[in-house]
Structure 1
Amino acid sequence: MSIPLNTIYSYFETGDFPTQEQFQASWASFWHKDESIPTNKVAGLDSQLQNKADKNILETHISNPDSHTGYLAKKDASNLDNTNVQAWKTALGVGELPENLATVDNGGQFGNVYSKDQSNERFLTFNDYVNDDRKIRADKIEALGLTTLIEAKETTISGFAANAGSYQFEDNDFIAIPDSSGNFSLYMFKGNEKTEVKNYLATGLSNVTIGMVEGLQTALNSKMDKPSATGNFSYVASVKNGVVTWSPILMSPNYMVYWNGIEFMAANVAYQQGKVGIGIGSPSEQLHVIGRVQTDAVVLSMNTETRNNQLTYDGTKFYGTNVSNIKRPFMFSDYEGEVELWSNLTDTQKTNLKTIMNGGWSTGTMSAALISPPIVDQTKNQPSWITLKGANLNLNPTTFSVELLNIDTNIYTTIPGSQIQLFTTGLDLVFWFNFNTIPEGNYKIRLWNGVAYYTTPMTLKSLSKLVEFDMTSIVWTPLKADGSTTSGSYGNNGYGTITPGGVWTALRSSVLFKENEDFSLSFKINSQLPISNQVNYVGIVSGLIPLSTVNNFSIEWKYQDYASWGGSGNVLLNGNLAGTGSTNFTDTIYITRQGTLYSVMVVKGDGKVHYFNITTPAVPVTLGLLGIVGTETLTIQQIYSLNQ
């Protein structure tokens, strides 16, 4: 078996090492000079040889004296007829015999009339075939050459003439008209119109039985009876044990017939207007098949048309067209076909496929527009929460990585996966890290989504000389329900820790940050809610708004006792449910402002992280509490300006 050239070429491409089998198969695909090439392997040779005359037949034809006797005269003129002889006479100028001269046979020469003896041998005399009444004798009918005798079903010659189209007979044939006694009257058809009674001559023979005519019964026995069934059918006759059986051919319009061993039946194959249908009587295509088709192979001619539900081949590719008339090529299962497929995809389609291959997680182009906070205190031996805002940050949790790159030393530090919070929206990524464990410096964040790396263009600064806010200078102003106020400073070893107790309705700090000043603030709130249906708030309040007992927080952390929330102690972050727990809360809140964007993150006591962003004017900022009834402790952990 020959190997296609393209396959052989693939065996010997640069860098390939053909196997022994591939090498042998390649050489076996060609003819060796020592091998004879069969004639049927030479294209067109057999058809050319068919146009040549066989040598033996030609030589026999040439040597055969009878080869051209139809138009060449033999030497002995044995193949010439009278017409030929006359033509030769004319050509040779030989005199003609008188036209009225009769000649008889003379040895090997044939005359143009019978001799008397020949006439007596060949013809019956009148007295030989008539009786005394000068009627034709029945026993001489066969001798007269009247061998075709038509047995009619009609009982009168006029009835037979009217139905003559049902019979096959010619001039001079005899018609036997039966009577009720089984005898016949004979008529001879003299010619012309078969439907006219005058063209049938009475022979004068009547009361003739079949047995009276020599050989008639034998002749009739050799004929088959016509089918007795009625209707517009075609019939087929079968003979078994000498018995003839007629069966109708059961046909349906357009359908072909087949023999089932007993009779002809309509097949499942139809033909209509040059089209063939299998299982359908009105095919719409050249070959229309209803049902499945099994074959060893299908050879498609080149076709570039586009039609619904069609498979085509344009000489290079196979195409399939769907019901919407959209034509798509079939892909070959090789590297080149795969490359061609991906090359024709849009960038969006490529990204979607990569996302699917990555378990449904983003493989799109990652980006980060914000790192919050952009500055951390390297001297604090505690976790610092970092937030990235951007796009396609919903990394595959089984294959992703987050690294810190010191752009001064090019040293990478990997963030443990347990310290990273992913969000399905892909807009945020949050992690915590103790920057006290690595040198201070400028860091970029590098992400790996399982397919590609992305490094943030902005930097995160880890500083050891970060100027922190002087929390001892904070002045807190409480407000009772009766509207009375008092002021005081709160502090504990440099941390802003306050425990106002249950005597105040509202408590607010002095201005911590000026208008349009970027900052980073983190504080811990510990609360116990002993009274049912009590709602407390903690958050930042605009320094432009007077102290009040109503809720005027810009950003709030709302906590409520479990009695009014189904017994689970729900916590809301700016109106959104942020978690559940007991009536005792120990939560850490991180707030970073950059421009008008506030990034807020809450780390609950059970380790769960809640995060949101809000855009609001960069007003002067104070810290406040509202609805103080239980025992609250607020501890400012870290507070510093980002504008240093």
Structure 2
Amino acid sequence: MKIPLNQIFSYFETGDFPTQEQFQAAWSSFWHKDDSIPADKVTNLTNTLQNKVDKSVYELHLSDPEAHAAVLAKKNAANLSDADKEAWKTALDVGQLPDNIATVDSDPLIGNVYTKSQSKDLFMMIDDYVNNDGKITADKLESLALTRIFKVNEYSLQDFVNNSHLYQYEESDLIAIPSADWKYTLYFYIGGEKTNVENYLPTGLSNVTIGMVEGLQNVLNTKMDKPTASGNYIASLLNGAVTWKAVNPASNYLLYWNGTDFKESGVFHNAGKLGIGLTTPAEQLHLTGRVRSTGYILEDNNETVNNQITAFNRSLLFTNSVGIKKTILTNEDLPSEFLKLPAKLTKVQKEQFGIDWNNQYSNGNLNVYGLTPPVIKNDHIVRYFVLQGLNLNVNPAFTSIKFIPAGNAIGTGEIECLGFQTFANGLSMIVSVYGDSLQSGNKYNLVIRTTNPTVQVHRTTGSINVVDTINNIDISGLKWETKSYTPEQEGNIFNMNGGLFKYNSSPNNKAYAYEPNVIVASAKSDIVFEANTNFYMEMNMALSTVGPATVNEAYDFYGYLGLIQKSIPLTLADNSFLRVIGSSFRSGGYESVLVWNNTSSLTTKIEPGAAVLNANIIIMRQGNVYTQFVTVGSTSIIQSITSTTEAVSLSLTASNSSKQKTISGSVVQAFTF
């Protein structure tokens, strides 16, 4: 009995004492030297012995004289001598090969006959062209140079020849001409003139039916019948059926496909030109509607055709309806073309341009050399200052103006102004401030800061003196001298009381008429300011009209309020040297009042578009320089002149008009400095 080794090892572990049975079982698991080991207990011994040759067989082979290399031929005959080879031939009865034996190609040797496959490449095998009955199949006729066989609709060869132009066929084609019972006669077309019956050879077969040619019916079933009427057609295949669609559009119209048929479109061809929506195109492409495109490429074209856009010499041109060609400016052209504008404008146009373009801001250096008035009273009244200099047409959106004590550094103790107004010529500016926002007893400069178009900080050299009291002129006792067109009408047309004055037109003085050059009323005050004094005077004036107008498109009234030299006597004339001119204007149904500063010109006009005008007027004299500015609403005009230093009075004159007019005013304040 065999006991596993691990079990035997467990019998003899340290401290164990195997029993008698265990000891015997352990030794019984091994072969004793006195015992023989059976052959079948040796692994693979039996298989190994079976691969050995039997000794008796081997000894018999050794003694066999015919079983060794000396007498045996090798498989490749390598051990045969020439004598042996001849002996083999004799034994096999193989003699010399004859000269006429056939040989085939065997690379690299070339034979003298074709193999079967080579022969099939050169010749047609009959089995490939006929069926089991020996008939040629229809699908092989073309390979036999019988290019096609097709049936025709005519019942005689002559009828077919007459209509041969209706068919497409070539030399060697078979023509199947049916009889009334649909049997066919076959003709070969041998080439030449198709209308000559001599060029068609009968096959000798008549009464040939389609069924007699195997597969012909199936082939014919794949062909289409021709249209039954003359015309232009396209073939339409739908669900396996072929139908012919006539293509017969109206003459000269281009075709389009509507999903079912070809139809004439809306595009008409006429003498090489295309019209869309019309049949008489005047150009290569003429449309009756709009064109939309992602872009147009214009060739250079300098012709002149009314209402045409062209490109020439790198310019885009437009010709208007009367043949005048104009250049269309692009955004890139504007800077260079704008610089050419002054040379193209008249003097009047330039002046109007300056008025309209009040936002032409300067980028030059600011310079303020005049500041008027130099003194103001410390009270809660809006005071206006006139700054004169260069490049004062700054951009309000990027400009600030502040008052600064004369001794302070920039940025210290600055006081914001109420507002300011610039003028297009850049020579003047009006700045406003409450008098009591500036400290009495101090002098102030103005600081102008700009950030665009250039960054500048300019501080005026001139200053403003703020005082508690000023040398006011008492206007309440001012005396007036008046004169009317009709004597003794002064009391009817004037109401004068110190610094208050009023003029009311009256037909009793002179009948109303369009007479703007006829002065009908004049008034002159006593001396307001003595000679060689610097002064500041502020007035309010109102101008209004009453009643319907009777004159069309005319300035029908002038009123003059200003300063006159005291030495000039009162007459029915405007003798003032500095004035505000008020007027009314009517054009058709439009009427309004307007005011000019000193002279009647477009550059000094304010027109609020109403029948009543209220203006604020400030006049200052410093030395022999007079500065006057007129404000109506948010619009101001300013003017400076040099004139007399003599004593001056107030002056008011009015012309005749076509309807009633009223001028009234008051002196707000007047003082010298």
TM over 0.5: no
Q: TM-score, normalised by structure 1?
A: 0.44
Q: Greater RCO between the two (CA within 8 Å, min separation 6)? A: 2
TM-score by length of 2: 0.42
Whose Rg is larger? 2
